[in-house]
Structure 1
């Protein structure tokens, strides 16, 4: 959809004014600016044909299950460096910081997501570095743990992501994936380590609770 002749609002100002702060379903420890029916996201995102969809405005199940897992098992990231790939709202990054990670970096291609991450981090009293870039064709980041929440929603993207994750694993990075078993999840290359019931705003769930999994990238793929 293309809407011409209308200036884009400042993302941070728009988010503060139109996306109310509320606790994340199943994760009340974390507050986020979240879109609702009256948020008017079209004024901020998706106005041009090449604009990324506003995935950041909703807590998807893949991120939610990782956040729940980290808060329940803080030893997963405590004292370690964490990168949240495709961070969206920053939910997973915030959970990692709350769980005691030594340093947390959130990566997303959407400038609106980057603005939302900054606001959401401040609401939750944590510090998160942000990178606005597509890094999955680049060298593995210097980190201990790579978190990937719900990035297997498109077949072409899934191929690129799993190749990047394999490179990260080869570089000694632990890879954790959260996903509600979307069709392009490469299940044969993963090992499930936990399951949590979380709300999902992606796909057809529309906010309903789903059983989402936390997976390790297998070592023999």
Structure 2
């Protein structure tokens, strides 16, 4: 599966040396794995001296998108570079490469020559000191984390929170939580989190419901704010 994934996402043809390095196996093992894939029905063209191309992958169903859908995919993944962290940006590009690998030749050419491009002037972004992989894992697996946080006034607090989700923007990354200290919703700027470690509480399966309630509360607040700003005559 790692070899198939590498063949999908790297520019073609891919040399044996590059494939071996990417999959962390020896060239001899690579040749055996190529032979195994071919024996299983995967169409891998090429030779050791030229490079390999995956021309048909039975592990994935055929994909079909409209030209506008292809534009949307390309534009969305390209936008990650403007506000996502490196791991998220790389994951998006790898996922897009696997999608493009399943398209027809005509649609693959459309993806290569998409007319829409995402670009914005570089903006200063605060560095993130904590392990974002741990924070993502806590959101998905619904376990609490302990954080040390320094607010805009420079005051430092330590608390345990239930991480519900993260919100990306061009300038910063926000974390939405249920704070066990305040027994209420709290949002934190991730670059201001100075320390992060796994907590002791598990809140499965509450995350989805808590997040829905949070979104509803914010929507109600915006509605009240709009009504106050534009009272009926």
Q: TM-score, normalised by structure 2?
A: 0.22
Q: Looking at CA atoms only, which structure, 1 or 2, has the larger radius of gyration? A: 2
- Specify which structure has the higher proportion of helix: 2
Greater RCO structure (CA 8 Å; 6+ sep) = 1
